[in-house]
Structure 1
Amino acid sequence: MRYEEELIDEVREKNDIVDVISSYVSLKKRGSNYVGLCPFHNEKTPSFSVSRDKQMYYCFGCGQGGNVYTFLMEYNRLSFVEALQELAKRAGVELPEREQTAEEKQQADARLTLRDMNKEAAVYFHYLLKSKRGTQALVYLKDRGLSDEMINQFGLGYADIYRDDLYQYLKAKGFSDYQMKESSLVNIDTVKGNYDKFFNRVIFPIMDINQRVIGFGGRVMGEGEPKYLNSRETILFDKGRNLYGLNYAKRSRSKSLILCEGYMDVISLHQAGFTNAVAPLGTAFTPNQAMLLKRYTNEVILSFDSDGAGVKAALRALPILRENGLRGRVLSMKPYKDPDELIKAEGQEGYQKRIEEAESGRMFELLVLYGQYNQQDPESRTEFIHEIAKKLAQIEEPLERQTYLASAANRFMIRKNDLENLVNRYGLGYQYEKVNEQYKTPPETEERRQEKKKSNKNQPQRLLLTWLVEHPEMYQYIRAYIGADDFIEPLYHSVAIMLFEQLDNEEKINPAAILSRFTDAEEQKEIAAIFNTHLKYGLSSEDEDKALSDVVRKVKLASIEDEMVHTSDIVRWQELLSLKNKMQKFSISRS
C-alpha cells in the first residue's frame, strides 16, 4: 500500500518550510521571502530563496527547487518515504503501517547492506591492528601518544599490506562483488583483478552522529601518496555534510566546538579532555558542515596548524561560519605546529589558556593583513590601512562595525577619524558592488544557449502559470478563453490541470501541493522554476491587462497551431483557423 495523498499533504502542511530549512541553512528575511547561501552548490552571494507563502524553495544560481519533502530528500539523501517519516515525526503525525514498494525496498536493502559491510570492515580493521600483522601501525599510534582507550573509542584499525585482504574477508562474509563495488571499500576490476581501496594504512572509521560507520580514512604507513586517503562518496557518506568526531563532540558540555584539521588532531584533543573537537573529512570546510555545527553550538574555535596552509584554511572557514550565523575565533598555535605538539609542550592547561585567548575571527583577519605589509614603510603602511578599511566596510551590522573600527584603530595605531572616513568611503562602494553582484549573468555556453532557446519557446506557458499563482484573481477574466489542454508542454499541462482545478474550486493556490504530485527530481526543479519566475511589478492596471492578454494570446495560438498540424479533419481545421483569427485580436479589459 502507498500513503494516501491526504496524509502526505497533512504532514507537509504541518511542517513550515522556512522552519525546516532554517535548521539546515542560515536564512535572512528579504521582502516576503527568506534568502541564504545555497546548500547544493558553492556560492558567495545568496541566491537560495524560500517562500513561506508558496511553501517552496528555489535557487536562482543552480536551479534546485522543490517543497519541504524535496529539500530533505536532496539534503539528507533520503527516499521520499524516509523524508515523509522524518517530517511526520517532527510534526507529531502518526503514520499507518505500510508495505514498501519494490524500489523503496531495494533502496532500504542497499543502505542496510552498506551499513553492515562498513561495520564488518571496521571490526576487521580493528582486529588486524591488535594482531601481529598490525604491529607497525600500532607502534605508530603509540608513538603518537595515543592510549589504548582512545584507540578503542575511535575504533582505529589497520588495512593489511595484501592488496585483496579485505575483499577476501568480505566475500567470506557473504557480500557479493556488486555490493562491495558500491561500498567504495573494494575496486572490482575484471582486467586488473579485485583489490582493496585501503592497504598498508592506519584506518580511521568515520561515524555519523548516530554512531554508525559511514566511511573510512586511511593514513599510509611509511612513504607513499596520497598520505591520507578517504572513502569516495556513497549513499551513506557525503564528505561535505559530516564531521569527524561529531558523534562524540555533540555530547560535550562545552559552549563551543573546536574545529581542527585532521583525524589525529581530534583524537589527541579528546585524549587531553577537549571532547568538543571535530574535523572536516579531507576536504575544505563547507557551509553544510557549518550548519551541522550550528545544531550544537553558536561558537566555533579554529585550531588549525600554524603554517601557511593552516592560516589559509582559517581565512577560508571564517566567512563560512559568519554566513551561517556562527561566531568564529582563532586559536594561536605558535610556536608549535599543531594541537598535539602544543599539548605535549604546555599540557591541558596551556591549551585551555590558548582557547581563552583566541582572537575573534575578524580581528584574526586584520592581524593576518598586518603581517603582510611593512609597517615601517609609509607607502606599504598606507596600503595596509586602506585594506583594513575595506575589510571593516564589509561588516553590515553598524554597532559591530563601530566596535571593530575602534578596536582596529587602537591596536594598529591609526587615527580613529581617518580610519572611519575611509571605512565610510569604501562602504558605499561595497554596497553598490553587492547589489550589482545579484544581477551578474553567468557565462554563455552551448548548453545554456540550448536551454535558453527551449525556455523562450515555452516561456508564455510558464509565465501564465506563474501569473495565475501570484494573481489568481485574473483567472476569472481568462477562464472562458483558455484551459489546461492549451498547455502543450507535457509537464506544464499536468501542472495546469491541478492549478485550474484549485482555481475552479476557489481554493487558496497551493504550489507545494502541486509539486508533491511529482516524484521525478528534474520535473520538481522545473516546476519550482515555474513558480519562481519573476513578474514585472509596478505596472498600471491597463498595462497589466495588455501584458496578460499577450501571454494568453501566445499560449492559445501555440495550442491552436499545434492542433492544426496534427489534425486531418478539414472541418475541425477550418474551425481552428477561425478561432485563430479571433484570438489574434484577443484582449482583456477589467475596466
Structure 2
Amino acid sequence: SEELIDEIKNKNDIIDIISQYVVLKRSGRNFFGLCPFHKEKSPSFSVSPDKQIFHCFGCGIGGDVFRFVSKIENISFREAIEILSEKAGVELPSLESDGDTKLLQLKSKVYEINQIAAEFYHENLYKSNAKLAQEYVKKRKLDNSTLKNFLIGYAGTYNELYTILKQKGFSEEEILASSLVNKTQDGKFIDRFRGRLMFPIQDVRNRVIAFGGRVLDDSKPKYINSPENIVYSKGRHLFGLNVAKRQENKMKKIIIVEGYMDAISLHQRGIHNVVASLGTAMTESQGHLLRNNAEQVIIGYDSDGAGQAATMRGLEILQSMGCDIRILQIEGAKDPDEYVIKYGAERLLKQVENAISLVEYKVKVLKNNLNIEHPNDKIKFLKEIAKVLSKIDNDIEREVYTEKIASEHNIAREAIYSEISKLEHTSTNGKKILEKAKPKLEIKENTAIVEEQTLKREKLIIYLLINYPEESYKRLNNAISIEDMKDKNNQIIIKKMYEEFEKGNSNTNHILNCFEDNEEIINEISWIMAYDFEITEINKCIDDIINLYNKEKVIIERNQIIKQLESQNLAQEETNKLEKRLNEIIIQLAKMK
C-alpha cells in the first residue's frame, strides 16, 4: 500500500542510504558526489534531503531511495522495498504468487543455501578429516578469529553438501540454482567443491553470494570459483568489502589486492581497509565500488607480470572515473600477504603511506621497459610520458610532474610541453572532423527556441503539480488540456497526476512509485524535482503559464487561417469570413502582449 511505502521511505533517509555507497558533500541545501552509475571526474550527482530524491545531471538517472537501492544493487524495485523495510524494521505483508515473486523466492532460497553451505564448510574445517586444510591454515598463520570472521572452511568429498541440503528440505531446482552442486549426465548429483579450502564471498549486506575453493595439493586448477548465477555477478563485487565496512563505513584509503589470502592476511594483522578483486581483471562496477567507498584507492596487486598487467588495467578504469589512485610498491616479497608475514603490518603501512602516484608508476614502468640512455628509446619515453601527462586535468599537478620528469631524466621541459601540445592539437582536430561529419539539422533557430521553452514550461507545470497541488491543480486542469502538451512523457505524467487528484489523493510524494517500471519517466520526474525553477509568486506563475497557452492557441489558429487564405480555391464568402476572424485574432493578440 502507499501508506506502507511512505512509512518505509520515511524511515530510510536518502542521505544515510546513499552515503553508504557515495562520498557526499553538502553544497547549499543539497549534497553532491561523483555519480555511481557513470564515469565522471566532476560531481554532478545531486541528493536532496528536503525532497528525498537523487538526480544525476550528467547521465540523467534519478529517483527516490527505492530507485537508488534498486539501481546500485542491480535488483528489482520489489527487492529494494524488502531491503529497506528490513532496515526500517517494517514488516511487509506476504507477496502474491507471480513470476517475479517466484524468482525472488528462488533467490531467497539460494541465499539460504549459501549461508548453510558456508557454515557447513566452516564446521568441517575443525573435523578430523580436514587435516590437510588445518595444516595449510596453520602454515598461513591464520588464527581462529580470522577463520570465523571470513567463515573460511573445508569442502569434503563427493556429495556431502548435497546430502545435507536434501535433508533440510531444499528442492533439486533450488540446490542446482545455487551452483554448489552439479548434475551429471547419468542424473547423479555431485558437490562442485571437493577437497578444497573454502572462501565464502559475501556482498556488502553480509549475504553469502558465492565461493572460491583452493586446492590443498599440487593438482590443478589451483582455484575454482562459483559461476555466475541468479545471486552472483562476479564483476559487481569485491571480496572482503563487507568486513572492511564493518570497521569503517567511510574509508580514507582502500587497498585492493589480487587474492583472497592477501586480503585475509592483512585483515588479521589489523589492516582492515583491504579488498580483493575476484579475478585479476578489474571491472567498471568494481571501480565504482572502490571510488564510492574511499577517497583514495591503493592498488596492491602482485609484482609478477600478470599482477603488473592487472595494475595497468585497473589504473585505466579508475583514472577514467576521476579516482585518486596510488600504487603500492613492495620489495622482498611477491605479494602483500608474503610481505606482511615477513616484515609485519607496521612496515607495510609505511609502504602504503609512500605508495606512488599513477604518473610515477607509469614513468617507472616505461623506464623498466626502455633504455633511455639510447636516443630512440628516449624519444619513445618522451612520447609515452607526454600521453600520460596530457591526461592530467589539473594544470598545477601537470606542471609539477612535468618539471620533475624533465629534471630527473635530463629532458628539456619545452620538449615535453611540445609533445603534449601535439597530442591536444590532434585531439581537437579529431573533434572538429567528427563535428563536420555530423549531418546538419535543418531547424530554424527560433523554432528550436520555442520548442525548448514549451518543454520547459511543461516541466514547470509538473513541478507546480508536485509541489503546490492545491494552488495549481484546478486552475491548470480547467485551462490546459493534456492534449496541449507537446511531449508524450509529460502527457503521461500529467494525466496520471490528474487521475490521482480526481480520486482525492493530493499526496504527490508517491508519484515516482506510479512509474516504477518506466525508467525514462522516473528520470524525467527526478530532474523536475531536482531543478530549481526559482518561483517567487505561485499564483503569478500559474497566471503566466495559462496566458502563454491561451496565446499559443490563438497563434496556432492565426497561422492556420493564413495558410487557408494562401490557398487559391476559396470562395469569396469563405475568404471574407476568414479575413474577419483574422482581424479579430490580431486585435486579441495585441491585447495579450
Note whether the superposition's TM-score is higher than 0.5.
yes
- Counterpart CA distance in 2 for 1:469 and 1:500 is 15
- Give, in angstroms, the shift of residue 358 of structure 1: 2.0
The answer (yes or no) to whether the contact 1:69–1:83 under 8 Å persists in 2 is yes
User: Where do 1:377-392 residues align within 5 Å?
Assistant: 377-392=374-389
- Counterpart CA distance in 1 for 2:254 and 2:107 is 30
Aligned to 2:120: 124
Residue 112 to residue 435, structure 1, CA distance change in 2 (3 Å) = farther
Q: Within the alignment, does 1:269 sit opposite 2:269 as a pair?
A: no
- Counterpart CA distance in 2 for 1:396 and 1:181 is 50
- Counterpart CA distance in 1 for 2:42 and 2:490 is 28
Aligned to 1:142: 138
- Counterpart CA distance in 1 for 2:283 and 2:422 is 32
Aligned to 1:497: 495
Residue 213 to residue 463, structure 1, CA distance change in 2 (3 Å) = farther
- Give, in angstroms, the shift of residue 525 of structure 1: 4.0
The answer (yes or no) to whether the contact 1:244–1:281 under 8 Å persists in 2 is yes
SS at match of 2:310: helix
User: Where do 1:440-459 residues align within 5 Å?
Assistant: none
Aligned to 2:515: 518
2:117 corresponds to which letter in structure 1?
Answer: A
Aligned to 2:69: 72
Question: Cα deviations across residues 385-418 of structure 1 (Å, max 9, x unaligned)?
Answer: 1221221121112222222222222333322343
- Counterpart CA distance in 1 for 2:18 and 2:339 is 39
Aligned to 2:213: 218
Task: Tell which deviates more after alignment, 280-289 or 492-501.
Answer: 492-501
Aligned to 2:151: 155
- Give, in angstroms, the shift of residue 379 of structure 1: 2.4
The answer (yes or no) to whether the contact 2:12–2:65 under 8 Å persists in 1 is no
- Give, in angstroms, the shift of residue 483 of structure 1: 3.6
The answer (yes or no) to whether the contact 2:155–2:194 under 8 Å persists in 1 is yes
Question: Cα deviations across residues 481-508 of structure 1 (Å, max 9, x unaligned)?
Answer: 964599998x88644513667999xxx9
Residue 484 to residue 495, structure 1, CA distance change in 2 (3 Å) = farther
**Among 101, 108, 116, the residue aligned to 2:95:** 101
- Counterpart CA distance in 2 for 1:342 and 1:158 is 26
User: Where do 1:52-451 residues align within 5 Å?
Assistant: 57=55, 67-80=64-77, 83-84=80-81, 99-102=93-96, 110=106, 112-162=108-158, 164-188=159-183, 192-222=187-217, 226-234=221-229, 236-252=231-247, 255-282=252-279, 284-294=281-291, 296-324=293-321, 326-427=323-424, 429-430=426-427
SS at match of 1:130: coil
SS at match of 2:339: helix
- Counterpart CA distance in 2 for 1:58 and 1:293 is 19
1:301 corresponds to which letter in structure 2?
Answer: I
- Give, in angstroms, the shift of residue 246 of structure 1: 2.6
Residue 433 to residue 138, structure 1, CA distance change in 2 (3 Å) = farther
- Counterpart CA distance in 1 for 2:148 and 2:33 is 44
The answer (yes or no) to whether the contact 1:58–1:529 under 8 Å persists in 2 is no
SS at match of 2:2: coil
- Give, in angstroms, the shift of residue 370 of structure 1: 2.7
- Give, in angstroms, the shift of residue 262 of structure 1: 0.7
The answer (yes or no) to whether the contact 2:284–2:317 under 8 Å persists in 1 is yes
Aligned to 2:459: 469
Residue 276 to residue 402, structure 1, CA distance change in 2 (3 Å) = same
Residue 205 to residue 102, structure 1, CA distance change in 2 (3 Å) = same
When normalised by structure 2's length, the TM-score is: 0.68
Task: Tell which deviates more after alignment, 334-343 or 175-184.
Answer: 334-343
When normalised by structure 1's length, the TM-score is: 0.68
SS at match of 1:275: coil
Residue 12 to residue 60, structure 1, CA distance change in 2 (3 Å) = farther
Question: Cα deviations across residues 83-137 of structure 1 (Å, max 9, x unaligned)?
Answer: 45777899xxx89765243259767755553333222211221233333332233
- Counterpart CA distance in 2 for 1:139 and 1:285 is 32
1:215 corresponds to which letter in structure 2?
Answer: A
- Give, in angstroms, the shift of residue 328 of structure 1: 2.0
Question: Cα deviations across residues 32-75 of structure 1 (Å, max 9, x unaligned)?
Answer: 99896663x8x6899997797995657998x9775543232122
Q: Within the alignment, does 1:3 sit opposite 2:8 as a pair?
A: no
The alignment yields a C-alpha RMSD, in angstroms, of 5.4
The answer (yes or no) to whether the contact 1:472–1:503 under 8 Å persists in 2 is no
The answer (yes or no) to whether the contact 2:20–2:293 under 8 Å persists in 1 is no
Residue 59 to residue 353, structure 1, CA distance change in 2 (3 Å) = closer
- Counterpart CA distance in 2 for 1:75 and 1:531 is 17
SS at match of 2:515: coil
2:238 corresponds to which letter in structure 1?
Answer: L
Aligned to 2:561: none
- Counterpart CA distance in 1 for 2:239 and 2:2 is 37
- Counterpart CA distance in 2 for 1:320 and 1:503 is 48
Unaligned 5+ segments in structure 1 are 442-460, 534-543, 554-587
SS at match of 1:517: helix
2:96 corresponds to which letter in structure 1?
Answer: A
1:260 corresponds to which letter in structure 2?
Answer: V
1:469 corresponds to which letter in structure 2?
Answer: K
Aligned to 2:444: none
- Counterpart CA distance in 2 for 1:266 and 1:334 is 18
- Give, in angstroms, the shift of residue 259 of structure 1: 1.4
2:167 corresponds to which letter in structure 1?
Answer: A
- Counterpart CA distance in 2 for 1:176 and 1:6 is 33
- Counterpart CA distance in 1 for 2:459 and 2:11 is 19
- Counterpart CA distance in 1 for 2:104 and 2:125 is 32
Q: Which has the larger radius of gyration?
A: 2
